[in-house]
Each structure stands twice: as structure tokens, then as C-alpha cells.
């Protein structure tokens, strides 16, 4: 075990000058990351910060129990406060695998069943009508051929999701906007959210094609209906506390708001960063009215690493069993037919490069870069990425405060993953 300049091994000092590793091994052969590779990674990441692609970042790469974390740059563009390894980030769509895990806990307890209709718990989604075609008026519908199931929601194939077209191209998009369902932070709660969603027809037949995002938000409401708790309450009790994820939730407490960086989007004409969300007084500085299962969480790199190590360890971490091995394997296998992949791949390289999709996350089914088939994980639109590679026993996490709406952040992500894999020797 070693400590490379600029890199901190995950662990604690025992007060006597010794480093106590917090690593874990679950039957894997011990392998260390390459020190030369880690230095190269640091040079690559610091180059992106130096050129202004992002104000700052926190990166983690772990190979078995060999874990390295790098924090560089600043919390705010033009500011002096440095990024730290305990910086809290807006995780965006990295929320989706967490929500899927919460649902699988309920499946294991037989409180939900994958192929049962959701009608009992979500009557708003019973007896669906389906648009005759995507550009049809809302009253031009046909009956759904079958009910929506829990599996449909987990695989994003329940018939409703993000439309790959400019705003208001189709009547259904206009209706979504007018109902306030096009925002990640509605000013109404989950009961009203699901009621409004239930007034709209589906875009596709249940099980027909993959459509992004909305399934995770529905799953968050489903967890609340089944448990009688909010999504955050259930996740905290069954996931966050057992895994030691003390800084993960749906908002940042006032006494910790200094750890949340400013979030930036980009001017579509100039590419220059513009403030999307402030820390103090911003949308994550107070409990949300709607806890979005698709993109609402905040977390730290070490908290999220604990979650991914649990998945990589087949459901357990430090003696805490969250899921069975069988459930994790089910979550991280490809569930889509070639026809269902059509909508996913239509989004381009961002969604299509993995090939497959499991429960709330991508699953790689082919090798087109350094990642192995079987790699699973997802990316967040506000500048986050996290994947685990069972073949390599590797976890990589990169958290930034710069949205994926410019060429710069996606390039940074690609370079991070190249650098992470070359550091595995």
C-alpha cells in the first residue's frame, strides 16, 4: 500500500504515524493500482481543470482494497476555496441505481413482485391508454395491451419517458410542460405528481421500447406507497445508514452547505459556464417537496463508493448485507430486447455506448473501449459519472459541478475512464 503525491489512500491515521487501510477483500486476488498510472491520471485531470473545462473535481478509483482519491480545483468558478474529498455533489442521474436498489429490497421482502402490475399501489397508472403515435393528439389513443409492471419501471420500458425532440414538437410534450412534469424540482409532492402523470396517456405500449428517466421517479413514489415512508426515510434506514453514507440525502443541511459547490451549466451560444444552482439558498439547500427518484440525491465520493462496492461485492459491505447475490446479478444484467434498445440508442453515444441496460443503470455488453463487458453504472447530467467493473474489481467515480451540456465535461469523463483503466496495469 502506498501514498502517491496528490493522492490519498482511503483509510484513517491511527494517531501513531500509521495508516490504517479501510479496504475490503471478498475473495479477489490482491492487486494494486499503478503509481505511474495514478500520476498520469492526475496530470490528465489537472489539465482539464487548468484549461477551465471544470472549476474543480473529486475523482476516485479503487482496485480491490487499493483506493485513491483526488480533489483538485475550486468549489466555485473564480473562487479560492479548494475542492475537498468530502465535498457534497448533486448526483443527478446517479440517483437512479440507488432507487432501483431500494425497490429490490422490497422485492426481496416479497412486498413487491417484479412481474406484478403496479395497479394495486399506483392506481393512477391502471387502465392505461396509449397514444396512437407519438405525434397524435392526446385523445387519439388505443388501450394498453397489458398493465405496467415493476420490471417495466426498473428497465425504463413502461411506456413513458423523455422525448427525443425539441420542446413542444409533439402534443404530449406540451402537456407534460403545462402539468409541471418537465422539471426536476416540482413545487408539488409525490401524490400530486403521480396524479398528474396519470392524467396523460402513455407514449408507447408497456414493454415496447426503452424511454429515459421517468420510470425512476415513479419508482420513488412506489417505494413511498409500499413502505408508508418517504423515499429518503426508507433509503436512509435500509441503505445509507448500514453503508455509512452519512452525507447522502435529498438536500444539504444548513450547517453543511459550505461543502456544496456552485453548479454550472453552459451558455449554448458561447459555451461559457453560467450558474445553474447556488449552494446557499439554492434548490438543494432545503428539503424538496418532491424527492425525485431519478435525479434528486446529493452525496460524496466516499459515500457513493460504499454503495458501488456493495454492488461489486454482490450485495454486502463490511458485514452488512443489503441485497442477495442473486438480486445484484439481476440488477446488473442486460434486460433489453433489440427492439427495446432502439429508443435508447437513438439518444446517441451517451446512452448507446454500453449496449445493454439493467435495473436503473447501464450494463456493458460489448467491448469498444477499455471497459470490460459486464461493467455497470451510469452518468449524471450535472457532471457526475460512476461505474463498477466486476472483471477488474474496479470502481471509478468522477464528480464535478459542471453540467454535461458542453463538449468539455463529456471529454473530461472519457479521459477519466481511460486514465482509470490504464492505472490498473
Give the tens place of pLDDT for each residue, 11-53.
Answer: 433 333 322 333 333 344 446 899 999 999 999 999 999 999 9
Q: Which residue has the cell 388501450?
A: 143
Q: Which of 84, 83, 405 is nearest to 273 (CA)?
A: 405
What's the per-residue H, E or C state across the chain? CCCCCCCEECEEECCCCCEEECCCCCCCCCCCCCHHHHHHHHHHHHHHHHCCCCCEEEEEEEECCEEEEEEEEECCCCCCCECCCCCCEECHHHHHHHHHHHHHHHHHCCCCCCCCECCCCCHHHCCCEEECCCCCCCCCEEECCCCCEHHHHHCCCCCCCCCCCCCCCCHHHHHHHHCCCCCCCCCCCHHHHHHHHHCCCECCCCCCCCCCCHHHHHHHHHHHHHHCCCHHHHHHHHHHHHHCCCCCECCCCHHHHHHCCCEEEECCCCCCEEEEECCCCCCCCCCCCCCCCCCCCEECHHHHHHHHHHHHCCCEECCEECCCHHHHHHHCCCCCCCCCHHHHHCCCHHHHCCEEECCCCEEECCCCCCCCCCCEEEEECCCEEEEEECCCCEEEEEEECECCCCCHHHHHHHHHHHHHHHCCC
Strand 129-131 to 8-9 pairing: unpaired
Rounded mean pLDDT of the chain?
91
The answer to whether 40 and 68 are in contact (CB under 8 A) is no
Q: What percent of the chain has pLDDT over 90?
A: 83
What pLDDT is stored for residue 21 in this prediction?
32
For 244, the grid coordinates are 455509512
Burial class (CB in 10 A: 0-12, 13-18, 19+), 114: middle
Residue 187: is its pLDDT beyond 70?
A: yes
Name the band, by pLDDT with cuts 50, 70 and 90, for residue 5. very low
Name the band, by pLDDT with cuts 50, 70 and 90, for residue 349. low
Residue 184: is its pLDDT beyond 90?
A: no
Residue 414: is its pLDDT beyond 60?
A: yes
The answer to whether 91 and 100 are in contact (CB under 8 A) is no
Of 424 and 88, which is predicted with more confidence?
88
Cross-strand bridge partners of residue 129:
143
Strand 66-73 to 11-13 pairing: unpaired
Residue 73: is its pLDDT beyond 50?
A: yes
In sequence order, what are the residues at sequence separation of 6 or more whose Cβ sits closer than 8 angstroms to the Cβ of residue 18? none
Strand 320-321 to 355-357 pairing: unpaired
Give the Å distances, CA to CA, from 246 to 147, 171, 249, 299, 385: 38, 43, 8, 9, 20
What pLDDT is stored for residue 346 in this prediction?
75
The answer to whether 100 and 331 are in contact (CB under 8 A) is yes
User: How many whole angstroms separate alpha carbon 290 and alpha carbon 221?
Assistant: 9
What pLDDT is stored for residue 164 in this prediction?
85
Name the band, by pLDDT with cuts 50, 70 and 90, for residue 56. very high
What pLDDT is stored for residue 366 in this prediction?
85
Angle, helices 301-312/95-108, rounded to nearest 10 degrees: 40
What pLDDT is stored for residue 27 in this prediction?
40
What pLDDT is stored for residue 211 in this prediction?
94
What pLDDT is stored for residue 352 in this prediction?
60
User: How many whole angstroms separate alpha carbon 286 and alpha carbon 273?
Assistant: 24
- Averaged pLDDT for residues 358-368: 92
- pTM of the prediction? 0.91
Q: Per residue in 129-177, pLDDT tens?
A: 999 999 999 999 999 999 999 999 999 999 999 998 899 999 999 999 9
In sequence order, what are the residues at sequence separation of 6 or more whose Cβ sits closer than 8 angstroms to the Cβ of residue 297? 91, 94, 95, 98, 248, 249, 250
- Residues composing the chain: 425
Handedness of CA 349, 136, 129, 295 (dihedral sign): positive
Amino acid at each position: 500500500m502506498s501514498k502517491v503525491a496528490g493522492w490519498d489512500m482511503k483509510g484513517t491515521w491511527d494517531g501513531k504515524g500509521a495508516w490504517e487501510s479501510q479496504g475490503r477483500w471478498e475473495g479477489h486476488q490482491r492487486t494494486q493500482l499503478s503509481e505511474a498510472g495514478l500520476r498520469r491520471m492526475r496530470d490528465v485531470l489537472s489539465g482539464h481543470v487548468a484549461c477551465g473545462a471544470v472549476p474543480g473535481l473529486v475523482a476516485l478509483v479503487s482496485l480491490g482494497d487499493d483506493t485513491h482519491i483526488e480533489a483538485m480545483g475550486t468549489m466555485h468558478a473564480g473562487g479560492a476555496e479548494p475542492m475537498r474529498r468530502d465535498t457534497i455533489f448533486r448526483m443527478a442521474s446517479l440517483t437512479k441505481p440507488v432507487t432501483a436498489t431500494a425497490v429490490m429490497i422490497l422485492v426481496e421482502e416479497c412486498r413487491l413482485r417484479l412481474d406484478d402490475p403496479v395497479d394495486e399501489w399506483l392506481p393512477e397508472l391502471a387502465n392505461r391508454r396509449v397514444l396512437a403515435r407519438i405525434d397524435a393528439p392526446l385523445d387519439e389513443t388505443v388501450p394498453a395491451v397489458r398493465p405496467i409492471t415493476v420490471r417495466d419501471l426498473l428497465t425504463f420500458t413502461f411506456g413513458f419517458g423523455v422525448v427525443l425532440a425539441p420542446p413542444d414538437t409533439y402534443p404530449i410534450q406540451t402537456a407534460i410542460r403545462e402539468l409541471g412534469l418537465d422539471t426536476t424540482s416540482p413545487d408539488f409532492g409525490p401524490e400530486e405528481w403521480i396524479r398528474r402523470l396519470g392524467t396523460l396517456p402513455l407514449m408507447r405500449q408497456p414493454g415496447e421500447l426503452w424511454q429515459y428517466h421517468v420510470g425512476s421517479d415513479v419508482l420513488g413514489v412506489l417505494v413511498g406507497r409500499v413502505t408508508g415512508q418517504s423515499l429518503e426515510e426508507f433509503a436512509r434506514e435500509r441503505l445509507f445508514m448500514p453503508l455509512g453514507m452519512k452525507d447522502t440525502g435529498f438536500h444539504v443541511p444548513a450547517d453543511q452547505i459550505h461543502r456544496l459547490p456552485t453548479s454550472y451549466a453552459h451558455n449554448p451560444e458561447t459555451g461559457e459556464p453560467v450558474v445553474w444552482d447556488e449552494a446557499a439558498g439554492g434548490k438543494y439547500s432545503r428539503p424538496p417537496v418532491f424527492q425525485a427518484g431519478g435525479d434528486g440525491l446529493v452525496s460524496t465520493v466516499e459515500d457513493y463508493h460504499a454503495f458501488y462496492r456493495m454492488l461489486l461485492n454482490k450485495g454486502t459491505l463490511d458485514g452488512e448485507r443489503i441485497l442477495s447475490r442473486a438480486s445484484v446479478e439481476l440488477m446488473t444484467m442486460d434486460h433489453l430486447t433489440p427492439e427495446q434498445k432502439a429508443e435508447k440508442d437513438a439518444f446517441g453515444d451517451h446512452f448507446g455506448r454500453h449496449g445493454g441496460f439493467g435495473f436503473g443503470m447501464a450494463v456493458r455488453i460489448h467491448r469498444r473501449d477499455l471497459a470490460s463487458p459486464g461493467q455497470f453504472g451510469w452518468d449524471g447530467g450535472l457532471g457526475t459519472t460512476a461505474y463498477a467493473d466486476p472483471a477488474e474489481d474496479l470502481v471509478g467515480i468522477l464528480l464535478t459541478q459542471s453540467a454535461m451540456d458542453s463538449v468539455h465535461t463529456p471529454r473530461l469523463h472519457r479521459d477519466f475512464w481511460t486514465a482509470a483503466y490504464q492505472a490498473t496495469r
